[in-house]
Structure 1
Amino acid sequence: MNTGLMLFNKTLLGGCAGFSRISNSVRRKAIVAVDEKKKNTFFITTPIYYVNADPHIGHLYSSVIADCIARWHLLCDKGTEIKFSTGTDEHGSKIQQASNANALSPIHYCDKIAESYRNLAECFNINYTDFTRTTDANHIKTLKKFWNVLQKKNYIYSADYEGWYCVSDETFLTSSQLKEVEDNNGKKIYISQESGHPVEWTKETNYLFKLSEFQEELIRWLQKNEVAVRPRKFQKILLDLLSREKLPDLSVSRPSSRVSWGVTVPSDKSQTIYVWLDALVNYLTAAEYKTNNGKFEENWPPDIQVIGKDILKFHGIYWPAFLMAADLELPRTLLCHSHWTVGLEKMSKSKGNIVDPIKRSEVFTADGLRYYLLRVGVAHSDGNYNDSKAIRVLNAELADTLGNLLNRCTATVLNPNQEFPKLNREVLEEVKKLDVAKTLIENVEKLPFICEAHYNEFKIYKVVDAVIATLHSANLFFETMKPWELKKLPEEKETLDVVLHLTMETLRVSGILLLPVIPHLSSKLLSKLNIPEISHNLESVKTFSWNNSDFNSIKLLPEKVMLFRRILLENKPKMKISQ
């Protein structure tokens, strides 16, 4: 157990003043160092996506990040069982409104949009294992069980509640979360500082969750657990929020008369469960909470929960508080990412700047769009989506730097035997005296360790940057060695073999390291080089062919491969390019 977590446990053992009715043993079990518990399952989640509209690249970005991390985990340990959950959030007044606007019943509307998210995952090779819909019977059963646990532990009570309510966001807000503005008629109104949506004063009888009792414990969790929320920027945001003012108790139900499209509170049909409590419990549904089959213990807690910054408060305050109350371990890491804007503006239907990932994949390919989002997106700040930039990046890096290098070293004109050739050790030592060869070999040998560090820090853009830098050095080596001239000289046959071998080994290592990012393209590359799937793992890329005296030539697969076709705008006149 690391020192920070040991100190945290000592703090808990010392008592939590002011937390009556809550035993320290329960607290300790809820927040105890999660690395005490060894699991066979790596459990990763995306948010479940709200079905008030079709998916856009922001939804895809969350899914691609999670898929990339899951694939990386498999690359490190083929024996790991991956549990990867995603799904759709289908209750609430906004869904009622959207279904009415589309002249569909709520469930038929939800069926339609949920299918679009399944199609998105299929199109972009998102290898989820669980797809939870909040309208599913097993989820509703789990939600009601969880509600009963919270109520039995006296964390839910009924009371009159009043405050500023945002219909669009379906949440109550404190005064500090509001901003006064003038509407189109010059009337002063309050809006949410975060979303910009208007609020109204509401008074009603609701069920409330005793969120206020968990404030100090939430602060301790964030202060003592360095990986609770990543990047650290977002952990600091949560701490600032928790330190600024006292948390009010949280309204966790709505009158059925106002929000009828929801799950009714057990034993009280006059109320429906708050959509965020409903949505957050999806992770428990996927983990098979309260099923008595022993699987929940194997799955829980989640190792990584990928979220967007707009839902940080719900996952970084409400969610851990619910889990603490239910005596459940907290997620090991909340991985929070920033948003994609278009023209530096937030995507919205009214602005007409929604980027449809399926349509873009018809031009960029699925792996191409995956690559661009992971290559350009950084978790700590918003990315500005631009079609023209995407095309430049994909043409330069996938078509030219990666694809063209593969084409050149596997072309029959330079490689008539179509093989990953064996090395002559003496010739290799001579070639290694050249700076371009020495630099290439050093770059390739460092690359797996650099990428491993970046993957483990969730800095996928730095992984890609390191791979591309290494491929640039391979292209420079190839150009400098002029293999097309060596081909003309029979006495230089073994030098040509060394050039081809070093280039192909660079491609092998790069291809395996890029498998989590561009699984289809990397598999095509490795297939062409005839690299067996059993060696598609981190261990194999830390062993290099030029250090293996037993290496024999490998016959390439005969099929020609176009790894990534350059995108020509003139061939796509209907494609609108955002500037």
Structure 2
Amino acid sequence: MRVTTRLFSSVVQKRPFFITTPIFYVNAAPHLGHLYTAVVADAIQRFEKLVNPDCRVIFSTGTDEHGTKVQQAAAKANLTPAEYCNNVSKEYRELFTQFEVDYTDYIRTTEDRHKKAVRHFWRRLVKQDYIYKAKYSGWYSVNDEAFVPETHTKDEVTKDGKVKVSIESGHRVEWTEETNYMFRLSAFKTHLQEWLKTDGIIQPAKFQKQLQDFLAHDVYLPDISVSRPASRVHWAIRVPDDEEQSIYVWLDALINYLTVTGYPDEELLKSRRAWPPDVHVVGKDILKFHGIYWPAFLMAARWHPPRSIVCHSHWTVDGTKMSKSLGNVVAPSTVPATGALRYLLLREPTMVDDANYSETKLINIANSELADTLGNLASRATGAALNPRGEFPALHPHELTQCMDKHVTADLLHRLDRLPDICHKHYRSYQFYKVVDSVVHVLHLANLFFETMKPWELRKKPECQKELDVILHITLETLRITSIILQPIIPSMASKLLDKLQIPDDSRSWQHCEKPSWRIEGAIFETKNIQHGKFVLFQRIYADKKKMQKKTASG
């Protein structure tokens, strides 16, 4: 039946699951915050494939390579803008490979396919009469590459005297007067308010309310500038039919989501059938661009806005905001263990509030949960001391019944039985920390069960082999189920453990974790082999006073 369904789906060409990260600005090297956005999106798409293995996923990410800050960064590095962009974009690719971000499309705004899409989209806005040319004056932030309304600025006293800054970003703004092309954002206030009434369109709900409040508090939603003088911003896509103007970097960047669908090629659009995106994953600092400007641009061009936006908060370092001037920006490739960092990024934050990173926290959580709670249990249950034959033993009904009469067993089996439904709910609401909390709780119960049942004593008594088999089976079955659930969080580690248990590749989807073996009616329990050899799932991280280093585990 599964083969038939796959053949049918390939003919019907069901609509894919389309998820995106923002494309990352190349004015500096990638840091912890960029990686966090990427692994959140990756975990979402991995869960989608886990629940529906036949699902076709389009997962796009990439780099935003135009604008003033890129010009400045390239000049500082003594490189041409193209050379500079190539170098930093390569860093992002390498980072995503290192942290198992399994994207399907990597888009760069300097690619010809994207330039074609931007020019086409611009002309469409012009045709619909939503773009006009005008003299524009206002407070401009070079750092944000955006004009900031007067009401969204404040005065701040610095060592250079009193300056005006953006309330939202904290960046300095300067009064600027120039001729630009304007987008009629004012025409879309009511449409945006209607769109934002859709329950769950922005998650978590806190951020949806922020956008609703933003629109409610401003009586007039001003038109926005969507071009810059080419004399000031030359590293950019020129406005069609006007070489003196460059297209605003944010309009250029947002169109990347259309580019990856094949836009404006009609044949590609029909074959990919991707629009609108199911999920845009963004940080809270760029929510306004994705939750106000982008849907308005799309409405103006007669395209559907995204189905949902998942917005996350930021990471601080030792309680302080990451800043190049403070020298506390975390380069992900320099942390003690990449697998542990991915785990921490999904295990720690709530999305609603900022999370705090420290290497001490990384080491403590990784050692406690990955090396000890999960890894040590796996090593003991598969090791030669207790499992010399290297087996996933069969269940024995009489001994199983006796074992289930014990409180410690009943508690574990009850929680394990409920775990898939609980975690499914948390995955669907993007609460990855709750997924991990739930799994770790079950693993703690499994460790308690293992310690209480004392399998090392049963191992000394040949007449107790069936009891030992039941204890090992329950432990290994718990590890099998929790490993399947954790695949979107720690893909390689989960795969490594499933490989150890010799679980076939086609038996690792969500449906295979929904019922433990003892609840499958009519099941015939057979002893199965597991991989032989010493097993270390995750080596403990050791720290000395001068630097963090990973020490090869000795046993």
User: Normalised by the shorter chain, which TM-score bucket?
Assistant: over 0.9
Once the two structures are superposed, the pairs formed by residues 227-238 of structure 1 within 5 Å of their partners are 227-238=200-211
Contact persistence 1:39–1:299 (CA under 8 A) = no
Alignment of 1:243 with 2:216, yes or no, is yes
Once the two structures are superposed, the pairs formed by residues 302-317 of structure 1 within 5 Å of their partners are 302-317=277-292
Q: CA deviation at 1:574?
A: 2.8
Contact persistence 1:524–1:561 (CA under 8 A) = no
Q: CA deviation at 1:185?
A: 3.5
Q: Tell me the equivalent position of 1:474.
A: 446
Q: Tell me the equivalent position of 1:438.
A: 410
Cα distance in 2 between the residues matched to 1:131 and 1:64:
15
Q: Tell me the equivalent position of 1:521.
A: 493
Q: 2:90 aligns with which of 95, 112, 115?
A: 115
Cα distance in 1 between the residues matched to 2:191 and 2:488:
36
Once the two structures are superposed, the pairs formed by residues 407-486 of structure 1 within 5 Å of their partners are 407-486=379-458
Equivalent AA in structure 2 for residue 286 of structure 1? V
Q: CA deviation at 1:203?
A: 1.0
Contact persistence 1:227–1:332 (CA under 8 A) = no
Equivalent AA in structure 2 for residue 420 of structure 1? F
Q: Any idea what the Cα deviations from partners look like across 1:402-432, whole Å, max 9, x if unmatched?
A: 0000001001111111100001101101100
Cα distance in 2 between the residues matched to 1:114 and 1:294:
25
Q: 2:151 aligns with which of 170, 176, 179?
A: 176
SS for the counterpart of 1:568 is strand
Cα distance in 1 between the residues matched to 2:348 and 2:450:
27
Once the two structures are superposed, the pairs formed by residues 333-372 of structure 1 within 5 Å of their partners are 333-360=308-335, 363-364=336-337, 366-372=338-344
Q: Tell me the equivalent position of 1:503.
A: 475
SS for the counterpart of 1:220 is helix
Q: Any idea what the Cα deviations from partners look like across 1:259-296, whole Å, max 9, x if unmatched?
A: 11100000000000000000000000011112121535
Alignment of 1:69 with 2:44, yes or no, is yes
Equivalent AA in structure 2 for residue 434 of structure 1? K
Q: Tell me the equivalent position of 1:205.
A: 179
Q: CA deviation at 1:576?
A: 9.8
Cα distance in 2 between the residues matched to 1:116 and 1:428:
53
Equivalent AA in structure 1 for residue 184 of structure 2? K
Alignment of 1:278 with 2:235, yes or no, is no
Q: Any idea what the Cα deviations from partners look like across 1:449-508, whole Å, max 9, x if unmatched?
A: 000000000001100000000000000000000000011112211110000000000000
TM-score (structure 1 length as normaliser): 0.91
Q: CA deviation at 1:62?
A: 0.3
Cα distance in 2 between the residues matched to 1:189 and 1:294:
50
Contact persistence 2:315–2:356 (CA under 8 A) = yes
Alignment of 1:80 with 2:55, yes or no, is yes
Alignment of 1:133 with 2:108, yes or no, is yes
Cα distance in 2 between the residues matched to 1:351 and 1:40:
46
Equivalent AA in structure 2 for residue 176 of structure 1? T
Cα distance in 1 between the residues matched to 2:207 and 2:355:
16
Contact persistence 1:528–1:559 (CA under 8 A) = no
More deviation, 194-203/512-521: 194-203
SS for the counterpart of 1:516 is coil
Q: 1:164 aligns with which of 139, 146, 156?
A: 139
Alignment of 1:561 with 2:535, yes or no, is yes
Cα distance in 2 between the residues matched to 1:136 and 1:106:
14
Cα distance in 2 between the residues matched to 1:39 and 1:65:
25
Q: Any idea what the Cα deviations from partners look like across 1:522-575, whole Å, max 9, x if unmatched?
A: 0000000000110111111112211343121110011322100111113x8433
Q: CA deviation at 1:257?
A: 0.8
- Unmatched tracts of structure 2, length 5 or more: 1-12, 551-555
- Unmatched tracts of structure 1, length 5 or more: 1-37
Q: 1:386 aligns with which of 358, 362, 365?
A: 358
Contact persistence 1:45–1:302 (CA under 8 A) = yes
Q: CA deviation at 1:184?
A: 1.3
TM-score (structure 2 length as normaliser): 0.95
Contact persistence 2:541–2:549 (CA under 8 A) = no
Q: Any idea what the Cα deviations from partners look like across 1:227-248, whole Å, max 9, x if unmatched?
A: 1100000000001111111111
Alignment of 1:217 with 2:191, yes or no, is yes
Cα distance in 1 between the residues matched to 2:438 and 2:245:
54
SS for the counterpart of 1:164 is strand
Q: Tell me the equivalent position of 1:534.
A: 506
Cα distance in 1 between the residues matched to 2:304 and 2:549:
48
SS for the counterpart of 1:349 is coil
Q: CA deviation at 1:39?
A: 4.8
SS for the counterpart of 1:293 is helix
More deviation, 560-569/399-408: 560-569
RMSD over equivalenced CA pairs, Å: 1.3
Alignment of 1:265 with 2:239, yes or no, is yes
Q: CA deviation at 1:144?
A: 0.4
Cα distance in 2 between the residues matched to 1:383 and 1:212:
36
SS for the counterpart of 1:247 is coil
Cα distance in 2 between the residues matched to 1:201 and 1:389:
44
Instruction: Decide whether aligned partners of structure 1 residues 203 and 576 sit closer, same or farther in structure 2, where only a CA change above 3 A counts.
Output: farther
SS for the counterpart of 2:286 is helix
Cα distance in 2 between the residues matched to 1:231 and 1:557:
42
Q: CA deviation at 1:217?
A: 1.0
Cα distance in 2 between the residues matched to 1:90 and 1:392:
38
Equivalent AA in structure 2 for residue 90 of structure 1? E
Alignment of 1:291 with 2:258, yes or no, is no
SS for the counterpart of 1:191 is strand
Equivalent AA in structure 2 for residue 199 of structure 1? V
Identity %: 50
Cα distance in 2 between the residues matched to 1:72 and 1:172:
39
Aligned length in residues: 534
Cα distance in 2 between the residues matched to 1:472 and 1:344:
30
Q: 1:150 aligns with which of 125, 129, 133?
A: 125
SS for the counterpart of 2:69 is helix
Contact persistence 2:313–2:351 (CA under 8 A) = yes
Cα distance in 1 between the residues matched to 2:221 and 2:320:
32
Q: Any idea what the Cα deviations from partners look like across 1:81-140, whole Å, max 9, x if unmatched?
A: 110000000000000000000000001000000000000011001110111100111100
